[in-house]
Structure 1
Amino acid sequence: MLRPPDELEAEKAASARTRALFRAVPDPPARGWPLRLLRRGVREVLWVVITIMDLGRRFGAWLFRSEYVRAGTCHKRGVCCEHILLEWSPWFDRFPWLARLFMWKMTRIYSFFDRGYAWELEGGLVARVLGCHALRPDGSCGDYRLRPLICRAYPELPIIGKPLVHKGCGFSFVRRDGKEEIAESVPTARTNDLVVLRKRAGVDPLG
Structure 2
Amino acid sequence: MDLSKLAASTLSSFDAKKDNVNGQAELPAGTYNTILEQAEHRAYDSGYDCLLFVLTVIDGKYVGRKEFVRASLATKKKDGSDMPDFVVSKNIKLIAKLAAQVGLAITPDMFAGNETDCYEKISQALYPYKGKPLTMIIAESPNKKDPSRPYRNYDFGPAKQTMQMPTPDQFNAAMPTGTPQQPTQPMQTAQPQQGQPLPQAPQGFQWNPNVKSTDDLPFD
Q: TM over 0.5: same fold? A: no
Higher helix share: 1
Larger Rg: 1
Higher strand share: 2
